[in-house]
Amino acid sequence: MARTKSSERWLREHFTDPYVKQAQQKGYRSRAVFKLQEINARDRILKPGMTVVDLGAAPGGWSQEAAKCVGSRGRVIALDILPMEPLPGVEFMQADFTETGTLDALLHDLKGAPVHLVMSDMAPNISGMKAVDQPRGIYLAELALDFARRVLAPDGDLLLKLFQGAGFTAIMKELRLSFRQVKVRKPRASRARSPELYVLARNFRGR
Ligand SMILES: C[S@@+](CC[C@H](N)C(=O)[O-])C[C@H]1O[C@@H](n2cnc3c(N)ncnc32)[C@H](O)[C@@H]1O
């Protein structure tokens, strides 16, 4: 199959990307781990003993970091529509987050235990058509926010990947209603050309 211009650019960037090299050298599953590390270094969101849910976890960079930070007293539940190789200290569920049964399965797993941090790096398969990709990305973020509202402990946090464009302002407004602090982060490892941002919503106001 002929490579498209954007897939060629992706391959070129991937093989010359310093974060990809560093991830391989350090045994991380993905370059995405550096985004979480940078946010965590600044905002201290991961602490020993926490219960963390990682949505869109594969191949597992964020889960690796979360498991290391929460330690043996903590718990990391990771979910992805794709399979993920097992990681020590991480409970993995392969499921589509847009299906209602998935929410029930997660709630069942949690058995009412309060979650301290929900993080979502979920991104739809990019078609390249903004009119298609943008609403899909916002929909995943909306679902992650709804889930966070159901499971977060009072004062819990939500770290959410969001795409700038239609629907962004509306979801920011919703986040401000549910959380006391809402900050926007663009870590260095997030490509400048990508419309992705990370929103860190802290101190859940409760249900
Ligand atoms: C950018 S990657 C996540 C990288 C991950 N944070 C890491 O550190 O390795 C986005 C993930 O979202 C997942 N995803 C997209 N749509 C999903 C859905 N409906 N349900 C569950 N996962 C989904 C994709 O399969 C993909 O693995």
Write the DSSP string, 59-97: T-HHHHHHHHHH-TTSEEEEEESS-----TTEEEEE--T
Q: How much distance in Å is there from the Cα of 59 to the middle of ligand 1?
A: 8
**Residues with a known catalytic role:** 161
Give the position, in ligand 1's atom list, of the atom nearest the Cα of 65: 8
Instruction: Read off the pLDDT of residues 147-171 as tens digits, 9 standing for 90 and up.
Output: 999 999 999 999 999 999 999 999 9
- What residues does ligand 1 touch, defined as CB less than 6 Å away? 29-30, 32-33, 56-62, 79-82, 96-98, 121-124, 140
| Averaged pLDDT, 166-192 | 96
Distance CA 44, CA 59 (A): 23
What residues contact residue 81 under an 8 Å CB cut-off, 6+ apart? 94, 95, 96, 97
Please determine, for residue 136, whether its predicted confidence score (pLDDT) is greater than 60.
Answer: yes
Residue 117 belongs to a domain with what CATH number? 3.40.50.150
Q: How many Cβ atoms from other residues are within 10 Å of residue 187's Cβ?
A: 17
Ligand 1 atom 11: residue of nearest CA:
56
38: DSSP letter: H
Which amino acid, one-letter code, is at 92?
F
Distance CA 189, CA 38 (A): 9
Please determine, for residue 204, whether its predicted confidence score (pLDDT) is greater than 60.
Answer: yes
Distance CA 19, CA 145 (A): 29
Please determine, for residue 199, whether its predicted confidence score (pLDDT) is greater than 70.
Answer: yes
The predicted structure's pLDDT at residue 8: 83
The number of CA neighbours under 13 Å toward the Cβ of 135 is 3
Give the domain extent around 181. Answer: 5-204
Domains contained in the chain, number: 1
Pocket mutation for ligand 1, best pick of 65, 122, 190 (most atoms within 8 Å of C-beta): 122
The predicted structure's pLDDT at residue 4: 78
In this structure, what token pair is assigned to residue 194? 């990508």
Percent helix, strand and coil across the chain, each rounded to 5? 40, 25, 35
Q: How much distance in Å is there from the Cα of 93 to the middle of ligand 1?
A: 12
